[in-house]
Amino acid sequence: MRFAGFPREAIEFLRELEANNDREWFKANRARYEEALVAPARALGEELSEFGRAHLFRPWNDTRFRPGPPLKEHIGLALGYEGSGGFYVELSLDGLLLAAGLHNPTRDQLERLRGALEPPRSARALDAALRSAQAARLELNQPELVRAPRGYPATHPRLEMLRRKRLTVARRHELAGRLHTAAAGRRIREELAAAAPLVRWLREHVGPAQHAPARES
């Protein structure tokens, strides 16, 4: 199956899911979900294999620790996430989200990320990677910290970057007619390709996690 866009039935299904977010309704409509959302997402993952192994997220929310609706009201496809950054495509009623980078680094990854901002060569390579993404209108995530992290001076020349606890670029597209055509696949490939230098930088300078995830203060 080639990716020819997400069918209009995918949006209709998501609208109905938003109004009927319960397990029994989903079980009764599981075949529609597979046909309208899962099958196109899998086809997209196969066509984007140059970005890495595709992983389609399960539809169920984990409500054991975070109360909420039992089902995710979107479908998410990760590409190339092998522990040191990758690519992400998500379809929801909010639009088509394209993203890349390292979303939830462990403490040791964050330390290596910040360390790579010091040498001029790696810092310049990161700047070039971000310019590539931003030329495709992918936006860099906002800093999470108000001040410099512990151990760094407030006058550090890379302060704005140091205040980030993750490093991602993203763009959300409206639910327009082209979403339902093969043009959607071409747009997705072009924008992920523009973000590829950032992912390569993360894999070279940050690498996979060596410790379990932990929140950075």
Within 10 angstroms of residue 177's Cβ, the number of other Cβ atoms is 10
Count of domains in the chain?
A: 1
In a domain, 213, yes or no: no
Q: Residue 56: what are its φ and ψ, rounded to 5°? A: -95, 125
CATH code of residue 159: 3.30.930
- Cβ-proximal residues to 76 (8 Å cutoff; 6+ apart), any chain: 56, 57, 88, 89, 90
Q: Is the pLDDT of residue 20 over 80?
A: yes
pTM assigned to the model:
0.92
For residue 216, what are the contacts with CB-CB under 8 A and spacing of at least 6? 107, 110, 149, 165
| Residue 215 is assigned to a structural domain of this protein | no
Q: Give the confidence band of 215 by pLDDT, cuts at 50, 70, 90.
A: very low
Report the mean per-residue pLDDT for the chain: 93
Q: How far apart are the first and last CA of the chain?
A: 46
Q: What is the largest CA-CA distance in the chain?
A: 59
Which range marks the domain in which residue 161 is found? Answer: 8-205
Residue 2 included in any domain: no
73-109 pLDDT, tens digit per residue, is 999 999 998 778 999 999 999 999 999 999 999 999 9
